[in-house]
Structure 1
Amino acid sequence: MNSREDIFDVANFRKWKESSMERHDLYNFESKIDYILDRIPTEKESSYLLEVFFFIPESLQINKESYSKEQFFLDLNNRIRFKTPQMTIQGLLDEQNKLSPIYVILKKLKEIEYGEISHETNIRIEREIRLLACIVKVSLRDQFSFILTFYEKLKKQGNIAAVISNYLDDIEKLETKMNMLRDMFYISQIPYKLREALQYADEYISLQIKTWIAQAIKELEKQIDNNIRSKMIQIIEREQDFRKSINSTLILEENSENEVFTYYESILKKYVQGVLYLEKKKKDPKSRSLEILYSIAAGFAMFLSLFLTVLLLTAYDVNSIPFIILAVVIYIFKDRIKDIFRAYSQKAVGLVFPDQRVDILDKFYQVTIGESREKVNFIEWENVPEEILRVRSSSNKSPLEEEGKPEVVLSYLQKITLLNEKIDEIHKRKKDLSNIIRFNIKDFLKYADDPIQHERLWNNKTTEVEDVLISKVYHLNIVLKLSSYKGKDLKRLFFKKFRVILDQKGIKRIEEADITL
């Protein structure tokens, strides 16, 4: 086992490729964290601790008084899903590949043909249809991204034409296979919902084929061979004709806002990719403990009240003025003790228990495959871990820069524990997970200054003082630390640093900051 000193080195800052952060829209940014499960048979669990440190400009006035934990979790949207299984189009079409969704669909259709009809079979077919569309999308993305990224290198090797032509052949074979599936679904004794599911997946796949081939034509322009270009255009037109033939709304129109297109595309995307998402069952990690502590507080306060009342009865007559006054004081004292005890109970429970706890469930099998525990706190600068401060200040141009931009630190922790055995029992293809965290920064902008300000410039050409427009922006620096554990021992440690550039109107851009130590 490596020591902490061995793990914490510069190399680890560059290894964490399974993470990204991007601007989702004007007010939201999204981070994608990939969790790779251990394949060691003896490892029953995989544990990951994600620590996110928000370095918020002090001028935005975000602190524990103005920004509550409840508001943070309202601004946070956390989704967990399986990563799309990696499979080439050739692998999908291989009739001997038992992991291919096409193989499973054909097998289940054959079972229905022989009279083995069940609700579970229908659900399995629908899942495989949706998974097929997901795999095709990722395969197209990866293959075309490879071609576009390494085009010049492949061209120098002299085999670029063959690479593209062979891949286009695979796409045409996939088109033929989808036509065959379409025909089989028309004649099979299956519910209408399955035919509709295939049409959704069919349209989605058709759109992905068009999108990636069109992007390749656009980026490569006239660099590609005319025969290959002609073949690409034929595939695009064939897919467009197919969507028109089924009256699909996934048809772009000139001189139109194409609202229907974007709306329907979003529906298809969510339907298809929904097969990968896991269900989260929320649990209140504090309520039971708080109920017990509150009961103890009430009992203790009542005991003191009765004890003092008994002492009072031995000293004063029930009808005396001192007895009445002291009885009122005891009553007030009882309520104050109860309130003080409740306040300390909340603080104590907050230190011990997470703010949120959810069980991670596979919806199809209704099996719990893990859990997530989350906690958020504002922390003082001196309590920020030294390694995080090193990462935060690594891009500072001067040691004085830190003093010129005071920041408040918000710490978000999420510990995810995955049950390897449970996942291996029910899944052969879907193993690794992605954690998609979307955060809304709208509440951070309440006290932001006007986005456009003016500064005076001396123009030596016109020999006049001119007003120049300048943008008032804020830098929200975010440091991510991901630790993976083998039992209780630290196994791997990775870091990332991002800078969210925002103004009063919202997010302008996101940069991945270099970490130089």
Structure 2
Amino acid sequence: MSQAPEALHSRFDVHDRKQFEIKLEYQPTGADETRYLVEAYLFLPSSLNIDAETYPRADFYADIHNYVRFKTPVMGLGELLSSEGSPLVKLEAWQRAGVAPESDVVYQAKLFSCVLRGALRRFATTVETRCDAKTGEAGRVDLETVVRQAGDSVPVVLERFRAWLRATGEAKLQEKTRASLRLVDEYVSLLVEQFFRRAVADMDSLPRTGPWLPLRKGLMEAVLREESYRKEHRLRSVLSPTGDNEEYMQRLGFLKKFCMNVLFLSSRRRQRRQGWEEVLFAIAAGVAMAFATSVALWAQVRYTQVSLNFFLVAVVGYMMKDRIKEGLRRMFSRVAATHLYDRTTDLVDPVTARAIGTCEERVDYGAAVKVPQAVSSLRLQDDFLTVSQGELSEAVIRYQKRIVLDARLLPRSERGLTGVTDILRLHVGRFLRDMDEPEFALEYVDLEDFSVGHIRGAKRYPVDLVFRFTVMEDGVRHESAQLVRLVLDRNGIQRMQNFIRAPEAPGVAPVAAPAGAPEPAGSVPIRPAALRQGA
């Protein structure tokens, strides 16, 4: 299977009907400066009417969303209670010492919620994996232990945090700080409810006898305790079986953004390419002016100033100057588009407010895109694609993103350098505009009585995306590629396919996983990522 370099792990997902998402987990090895490059080649059927004129750069960038954040520190529930690096332990130590800036208190409280979220998500993922019918009984050997440990540890973690929160009532804190801590407490309560309920839902395939019934009851009792806790504190983030739960979803989304903003890097846009283009355009104007001046000086020597010949030479010289200037501007603009990135963004640490790296992006269309042979070979799936490359027209878009990080400015934890999570989300709404109706009625003749009926025919469009990942550290370059296919109709994304390349046969084209294969390796049905991941 085509994998990303060891330091860079990729995961593809369908975020919703209109958005495709790739999540990269990058872990620097310790070099002073480290960088990685993501190249995405989009192969679109020509019938979608996508090119540089109908889908200009500004529209493409409006459909691309980039989020770069620090990786959530990995701690188990036991480590949250005892590790020196635990945000909860630090909060308790500061409370006993009575010395800590309020901004640091809020930061550690938010970080505590992020670490707890990671631990709960790993727990829920473990339950989902163990309960999968394909794993069989062997995969459920330690499931009972995992569920019991989570059911026992989470209430202790919550009680320790809330005991600290009650103790802060005696401290002289600003009202904004107290409000922030209350929001963190609400978010923590929702996290437990979301992931424990998700675990119980995944355990639906297990027997309802033996140890599994009390395990379910234990998790649901924790869910009900958290719901009662929020009701007691008059919080409106409580699910209603009969309502639309609009306010619940709104509060959940706000709390997630509020607590996790300590991990997200802020961006500061720079117009680097524009500055270089202005220099190149000034050179073009200077060359054109030099030509016009030379013509004028020659005409002064050759003809008298008050003459028709001098007048004609001066006019022609000005005409040539104008065309030379515009021609050079176009030429320099192409040079800039070839060698310079469209957008440059500084990545800023949300705590120290220091720029720790840059993100550079560019997009190219059509003839400006030279598709490497390694990328083309990934698409040799069947006769259709093998013959269509070069025979049938298709639109090709190349998107490049280069991240450069100063590892010396990255935060450190007990496990070493903190890595980054790079999320890229593509909205496919523009691709759908010129599509045909998603369904047709096809005539069908019954062979017994030759009666004519109709059957359903689905009209869908495959869009291939080939990603190339390049990591450069200490002068060493690592590359890999991955093919993903989105199957679209006018209503949005219908499914996503990952393609597998066998490592022992590098010359063999990748193949789609069979229909019965696990989701990550084959067709992924539409199931919004937000519902799978919880809060």
Alignment TM-score > 0.5, same fold: yes
Are positions 1:29 and 2:20 aligned together? yes
**Aligned-partner SS, 2:402:** strand
Determine the structure 2 residue equivalent to 1:205: 188
**Aligned-partner SS, 1:280:** strand
Structure 2 CA distance for partners of 1:190 and 1:382, relative to 1, 3 Å? closer
Deviation at 1:507?
2.0
Contact persistence 1:54–1:479 (CA under 8 A): yes
Deviation at 1:78?
1.0
Aligned residue runs from structure 1 range 343-362, under 5 A? 343-362=330-349
Determine the structure 2 residue equivalent to 1:219: 202
Which of 62, 66, 91 lines up with 1:105 in the alignment?
Answer: 91
Aligned residue runs from structure 1 range 444-455, under 5 A? 444-455=431-442
Aligned residue runs from structure 1 range 63-462, under 5 A? 63-94=51-82, 97-111=83-97, 113=98, 116=99, 121-151=101-131, 159-221=142-204, 222=208, 224-380=211-367, 383-394=370-381, 399-400=386-387, 406-424=393-411, 431-461=418-448
Determine the structure 2 residue equivalent to 1:7: none
Structure 2 CA distance for partners of 1:197 and 1:363, relative to 1, 3 Å? same
Q: Deviations over 1:307-350 (max 9, x none)?
A: 21122223333332332233222222222221112111111122
Deviation at 1:494?
2.7
Structure 2 CA distance for partners of 1:430 and 1:85, relative to 1, 3 Å? farther
Structure 2 CA distance for partners of 1:386 and 1:471, relative to 1, 3 Å? same
Structure 2 CA distance for partners of 1:393 and 1:444, relative to 1, 3 Å? same
**Aligned-partner SS, 1:257:** coil
Contact persistence 2:8–2:471 (CA under 8 A): no
Determine the structure 1 residue equivalent to 2:456: 469
For 2:387 and 2:7, the matched residues in 1 are separated by 30
Deviation at 1:62?
1.3
Structure 2 CA distance for partners of 1:207 and 1:482, relative to 1, 3 Å? same
For 1:468 and 1:442, the matched residues in 2 are separated by 28
- Structure 1 counterpart of 2:121, one-letter code: R
Deviation at 1:403?
7.2
For 2:484 and 2:490, the matched residues in 1 are separated by 19
Structure 2 CA distance for partners of 1:429 and 1:143, relative to 1, 3 Å? farther
**Aligned-partner SS, 1:256:** coil
Structure 1: runs of 5 or more not aligned: 1-9
| Matched pairs, number | 496
Structure 2 CA distance for partners of 1:168 and 1:405, relative to 1, 3 Å? farther
**Aligned-partner SS, 2:341:** coil
Contact persistence 2:19–2:425 (CA under 8 A): yes
**Aligned-partner SS, 1:366:** coil
Contact persistence 2:72–2:118 (CA under 8 A): yes
TM-score by length of 2: 0.86
Deviation at 1:511?
2.3
**Aligned-partner SS, 1:479:** strand
- Structure 1 counterpart of 2:500, one-letter code: D
Deviation at 1:254?
2.1
Contact persistence 2:438–2:490 (CA under 8 A): yes
Determine the structure 1 residue equivalent to 2:505: none
TM-score by length of 1: 0.88
For 1:398 and 1:502, the matched residues in 2 are separated by 17
Deviation at 1:405?
6.2
For 2:414 and 2:266, the matched residues in 1 are separated by 16
Are positions 1:38 and 2:44 aligned together? no
For 1:153 and 1:364, the matched residues in 2 are separated by 46
Structure 2: runs of 5 or more not aligned: 503-507, 509-535
Deviation at 1:75?
1.5
For 1:153 and 1:17, the matched residues in 2 are separated by 31
Deviation at 1:299?
2.2
Structure 2 CA distance for partners of 1:17 and 1:225, relative to 1, 3 Å? farther
Structure 2 CA distance for partners of 1:292 and 1:233, relative to 1, 3 Å? closer
Percent identical pairs in the alignment equals 23
**Aligned-partner SS, 2:486:** strand
* Aligned Cα root-mean-square deviation (Å): 2.7
- Structure 2 counterpart of 1:315, one-letter code: R
Structure 2 CA distance for partners of 1:462 and 1:379, relative to 1, 3 Å? same
- Structure 2 counterpart of 1:217, one-letter code: V
Contact persistence 1:101–1:132 (CA under 8 A): yes
Determine the structure 1 residue equivalent to 2:523: none
**Aligned-partner SS, 1:463:** coil
**Aligned-partner SS, 2:284:** helix
Deviation at 1:236?
1.4
Q: Deviations over 1:390-444 (max 9, x none)?
A: 2122466774465786432211111212111111579977711111111122222
For 1:440 and 1:130, the matched residues in 2 are separated by 30
Structure 2 CA distance for partners of 1:234 and 1:447, relative to 1, 3 Å? closer
Contact persistence 1:140–1:209 (CA under 8 A): yes
